[in-house]
Amino acid sequence: MAVQNPFFGKRETETFQPRHNPVTPSSSVNSVAPSSASTSAATVTAAVAAKAPAENTGSKLTVGPNIKLKGVEITDCDTLVVEGTVEATMDSRVIQIAEQGAFRGSADIDIAEIRGEFNGTLTVRDKLVVYGTGKVSGKIRYGKLVVEEGGQLSGEIEVGVGPSARAAGAARPVDAPAPAVALA
């Protein structure tokens, strides 16, 4: 007589209850910045914290530590948090790469906060923030740029995302770490 395993048996119908995480004023980028941050780091953090409530809404994908996500196309994701390794193509609103995180591939996004490594083609329509531990290499296009002391940019870097920037020949190769730049 065959014994039916309940794991593979008929499932009860379940109703889906989405979780809603309320946005609180205390959940800002300031809690992520190290306590020994310099004045420029406080400026960078304050500039990013102004947009934090808008970033916490919508769909969010977190790739945790020790997780490797390879060969995918990420779409319809408002915020991607990378704590592990991602090799992908994405079109999104926000990408946040943690210190231990790495992204390789192509990304078209509105806001990028890089504390780890990005290697590939990065197009940031609004603001690119590279923290002191961040390393960005490849073909980089951005609208606004904030680089904390210690942050590194290398490759082909182009200011302005629109076609007028390309016509003006704004692209230039860069191979050395970028100096500290604080733009608000």
Q: What are phi and psi of 118, to 5 degrees?
A: -125, 130
The rounded Cα 62 to chain-centroid distance in angstroms is 10
Could you read off the pLDDT of 12-23 as tens digits, one per residue? Answer: 555 545 555 444
Extract the runs of DSSP E, i.e. beta strands, from 14-116.
Answer: 60-63, 68-74, 79-82, 85-91, 94-97, 102-114
Could you read off the pLDDT of 97-139 as tens digits, one per residue? Answer: 999 999 999 999 999 999 999 999 999 999 999 999 999 999 9
What's the pTM?
A: 0.60
Tokens at 79, concatenated: 């915020």
Q: What are phi and psi of 46, to 5 degrees?
A: -65, -40
Please calculate the CA angle 136-109-36 and round it to the nearest 5 degrees.
Answer: 50
